[in-house]
Amino acid sequence: MQLLLGILLALASAFLWGFTTVIARVFLKSGGSMILSILRFIISAPIYLLLLTILGFPPLTSMLLFIIFLSSLAGFILGDFFFFYSMKLMGVAKSTLLVTMYPLWTMILAYFLLGREITVTMIMGALFIIFAVSSVVFKKEEEKWHPLGVLYSIITQFLWALAVVSIDWLLVDLPVYQVTGLRIIAGGAISLTMLPFLGKQVIKLSRMEWAYVAIISIFGMVIAQYTFTKSIELAGSGIAAPVGETSPLIATVLAKLFLKEEVTPRLFIAILLMVAGVFVLSL
């Protein structure tokens, strides 16, 4: 039951990330990736700061602060920046296709750094999901692969994997709300140091763009990060990461529903592969 609940929470996170990805695509048409990356922390960090003030902070040792800072920097600031910038250089499809490998790196890092097990079903389930996402996002486009975009996507893989493993480590001693809150607060503190350099661009944002950022912050950060962290606690990083990676496929489905586009046979097959992958991971 614990494993199933963990998978369901990872799917909930994937749905929220898929939804906010659709919103982010609209925002990135006019706004910058760095602005989006920073402002979502400026909005979400105070919410968790208030929550931790009410519920209590954990004893903050130097090692704990270092891991939290590393986790936030790798997963939020640098990881998402490199991914957003990769999308700008070579499009959503190619960038997403490359980063689908990050759950496998998560399993490998968790095995060597934390001693977590790697089972055949975990690998099979992850591969099913990777194939599902790849079959949807892969397009035979005429544009060439941008070398810097490829490099940024590869860097994103390792940064996201490192972030997920660090969450797994933090959950050994801390409850979910503290791990989630401290990581987002750390991201907010880092973002504040970068905000002055983007002040003019922030002022130029329209009300609609601010609304997009608010939606992405509340659903993609405040809620989804909590449910994903909880899924790691219940199911482990080796299972939560591949299930969470279904978000690009979910984003594609949501985009088609909102835009009333035709569901192609490829998308139908991808959904079946995703369901198969999640089923195998639950065994």
Closest alpha carbon to 19 in 187, 205, 182, 224? 224
Amino acid at 270: A
State how far the Cα of 5 lies from the Cα of 18, in Å rounded to an integer: 20
> The domain containing residue 237 runs over which residues?
2-281
Using the 8-state DSSP alphabet, how is residue 144 labeled? P
Return d(Cα 107, Cα 272) in angstroms, integer: 23
Distance CA 222, CA 216 (A): 9
Helix axes 237-244, 2-28, angle to 10 degrees: 40
Cα distance between residue 31 and residue 49, in whole Å:
27
pLDDT at position 182 is 95
Encoding tokens for residue 251? 């984003």
Within 10 angstroms of residue 58's Cβ, the number of other Cβ atoms is 16
Q: Report the candidate in 54, 65, 100 with the shortest Cα–Cα distance to residue 245.
A: 100
Q: Positive or negative, the Cα torsion across 185, 186, 188, 189?
A: positive
**pLDDT given for residue 188 in this prediction:** 92
- Number of structural domains in the chain: 1
The tokens of 205 are what? 């944002």
Question: What integer pLDDT is reported at residue 143 of this predicted model?
Answer: 52
pTM greater than 0.75:
yes
pLDDT tens for the chain, 283 residues: list them: 788 899 999 999 999 998 888 888 778 777 677 788 889 999 999 999 999 999 999 988 999 999 999 999 898 888 888 887 887 777 766 777 788 888 889 999 999 999 888 888 888 988 888 888 877 766 655 456 788 888 998 899 999 999 999 999 999 999 999 999 999 999 999 888 888 877 777 788 888 989 999 999 999 999 999 999 999 999 999 899 999 988 888 877 777 777 565 667 777 778 778 888 888 887 6
Q: How many CA atoms lie within 13 A of 20 on its CB side?
A: 23
DSSP 235: H
Helix, strand or coil, per DSSP, at residue 141:
coil
